[in-house]
Amino acid sequence: MAALTEIRRADPKRPLQRPRRIAVYRHARITRLTHWINLPCVAVLLMSGLQIFNAHPALYWGQSGSDDDRPLFEIGADDSGDGPPVGFTRIGSSTFVTTGILGVSRNAAGDEVQLGFPGWMTIPSWRALAWGRPWHFFFAWLFVANLLVYLAAGLASGHLGRNLLPSATQLRPRSLFKDIADHLRLKFPRGEAARHYNPLQKLTYLVVIFVLLPLMILTGLTMSPGMDAILPWLVDIFGGRQSARTVHFITAGLIVLFVFVHVAMLILAGPLNELRSMITGKFVISLEDNHE
């Protein structure tokens, strides 16, 4: 506003001009559709997965996990004292008191319950493995089908190669370090640069699509007794069913972290414009930003 005021003072006959803004087509219809289908899939998979985990809230490495094995990660409740049970989370040899969050929490009625993850994070909200498994399996297959549609459409349209593969210039260390520094300073691409994914986005999406998601799917299949009979080599690849369960849990956690960072970046970069681009496909850019 101050700059426009100075222009008016220098030339009173010159009209004030708003920055030129244009809408560019950023996301194809199939990209938007599969993106929004992923939203309920990831949410239900997470909540039903935590319900399944609560049946035995501990992670091991190897073929089987028993009371004699030392868990790599464990959530539980210690009720050996005279007072109320104490919730704890154990990672390796380190133990943390997590009463009220993990191990021991309150249900909707206000009663204290011994539960790995609290009920508000699971589907259903009470301990019910038999109910959590169907929810998890249904949305898992829906998620896989949706991913296959996205990949097929991306390959057919050239979206994967054109928009997600970083160029040789973008992969140079100097370019990558600059992009990381810009993100840390919350400096996002503007003008013409906002039309396309930056190198950090491209690398992140590639890791999620071609590393984390396949790992999550394969480890999920490894934990299925039916699939073990059809594909016995899966168990050998991951070093046992309990190892696959641990990798599955870690991979799911990394995907949840990606979602949180993705949403945070969306809010910081301008939620209205970003959401509009994923709903209508059109992203608004300011041409004046090209000269900054």
Q: 273-277, 280-284, 286-290 — which is least confidently predicted? A: 286-290
CATH number of 18-57+121-291: 1.20.950.20
> If you average pLDDT over residues 33-53, what whole number do you get?
96
Q: How confident is the model at residue 291 (pLDDT cuts 50, 70, 90)?
A: very low
Nearest to 166 by CA among 194, 205, 213, 195: 205
Q: What does the alpha-carbon distance between residue 226 and residue 232 come to, in Å, rounded to a whole number?
A: 10
> If you average pLDDT over residues 153-172, what whole number do you get?
86
Q: How many CB atoms lie within 10 A of CB 51?
A: 27
- pLDDT reported for residue 189: 75
- pLDDT reported for residue 5: 44
Q: What does the alpha-carbon distance between residue 127 and residue 70 come to, in Å, rounded to a whole number?
A: 24
- pLDDT reported for residue 7: 40
- pLDDT reported for residue 63: 76
Residues 6+ apart with CB under 8 A from 199: 166, 170, 171, 175, 176, 179
pLDDT tens, position by position, 50-63: 999 999 999 999 87
- pLDDT reported for residue 3: 44
Q: How confident is the model at residue 12 (pLDDT cuts 50, 70, 90)?
A: low
Q: What does the alpha-carbon distance between residue 179 and residue 200 come to, in Å, rounded to a whole number?
A: 7
- pLDDT reported for residue 1: 46
What whole-number percentage of the chain has pLDDT above 90? 49
pLDDT tens, position by position, 267-281: 888 888 888 889 998
- pLDDT reported for residue 282: 86
- pLDDT reported for residue 247: 96
pLDDT over 80 at 64, yes or no: no
> If you average pLDDT over residues 226-234, what whole number do you get?
83
- In the chain, CATH 1.20.950.20 sits at 18-57+121-291
Q: What does the alpha-carbon distance between residue 140 and residue 30 come to, in Å, rounded to a whole number?
A: 20
Structure tokens, 178 = 């600059």
> If you average pLDDT over residues 184-203, what whole number do you get?
79
Tell me the whole-structure pTM to 2 decimals: 0.84
Q: Quick one: CA torsion of 163, 169, 171, 173, rounded to 10 degrees?
A: -150
Residues making up the chain, counted from first to last = 292
- pLDDT reported for residue 13: 52
Nearest to 210 by CA among 161, 244, 173: 161
pLDDT over 70 at 67, yes or no: no
